[in-house]
Amino acid sequence: MNKPTVLIVEDDPPVRNLMTVTLQANDYKFITSSNAESAIMQASSHNPDIVLLDLGLPDMDGIDVIKKIRTWSNMPIVVISARSEDSDKIEALDAGADDYLTKPFSVEELLARLRAISRRLAAIKYESQTSVLKNGNITVDFAAGCAYKNGEEMHLTPIEYKLLCLLSQNIGKVLTHTFITDKIWGDSTESSLASLRVFMATLRKKLEVGDKSQYIQTHIGIGYRMLKVE
């Protein structure tokens, strides 16, 4: 797959410079915006593969930029912000962001996130052609409604299967507790949240080998993410 085109939205020139230099050195194509209005224009006119979005912009809050882009596009959006509270991250994720990086960030971390999203974009392309998702030793056959581990059918409860599908369809994306319970139980009450913890634990036992969390990453106080496993 070709390196994706990245839209960098950042009003702080030194930070924007760091990002452009990093992407240039790693052969990414990129375009830049220093405010929300031009970011929204660039997102619609250039249709970038990935958006790196600062939240504190001069003309509009980045959260509103996410909401606007989400009215027409599912392009991956990674929030890069100095806001580090869980509530800020949850707000951005629930508005439709895929991932977040807290400032100050390391160049290596930024590149790792971009690689993860590129793998996810490739996986989504494959899945849309086949309705089967392969991730490491796990295969989810959405059309047949079953999942396999090392080629053997997994014995999952209906809720575990729904959870696995939801995580797999959003591979690489951090899903908040509220998002998951809304999708699975239709609400986000305390009891749904408690159920989520229980079913996530049993699903993990069936997916993971030993105590290692290879497939499902926990974001304490925020939610879960399914990782792309080679």
**For Ca ion, which residue has the nearest CB?**
56
Cis check for the bond before 104: say yes or no (omega within 30 of 0).
yes
Q: 79 vs 95, which CB is nearer to Ca ion?
A: 79
Distance of CA 205 to the CA centre of its chain: 23
By CB under 5 A, residue 61 contacts Ca ion: no
56 binds Ca ion (CB under 5 A): yes
Question: Would you count residue 88 as binding Ca ion (CB under 5 A)?
Answer: no
Tell me the site size for Ca ion, rule CB under 5 A. Answer: 3
Site string for Ca ion, 109-148 (x = CB under 5 A): ----------------------------------------
Q: How far is the CB of 57 from Ca ion (least distance, A)?
A: 6
Q: Does 11 bind Ca ion (CB under 5 A)?
A: yes
Give the burial class of 132: count Cβ atoms within 10 A of its Cβ; 0-12 exposed, 13-18 middle, 19 or more buried. Answer: middle
CB of 79 to Ca ion, least distance (A): 11
* Contact between 54 and Ca ion per CB under 5 A: yes
User: What residues have CB less than 8 Å from 58, skipping those under 6 apart?
Assistant: 11, 34, 35, 36
Minimum separation from the CB atom of position 15 to Ca ion (A): 8
Helix ranges restricted to H, the chain: 13-25, 36-46, 62-70, 86-95, 107-130, 158-169, 177-185, 190-207
**What is the number of other CB atoms lying within 10 angstroms of the CB of residue 59?**
13
Q: How far apart are CA 160 and CA 199, in angstroms?
A: 6
For Ca ion, the closer of residues 56 and 145 by Cβ is: 56
Using CB under 5 A, list all residues that contact Ca ion: 11, 54, 56
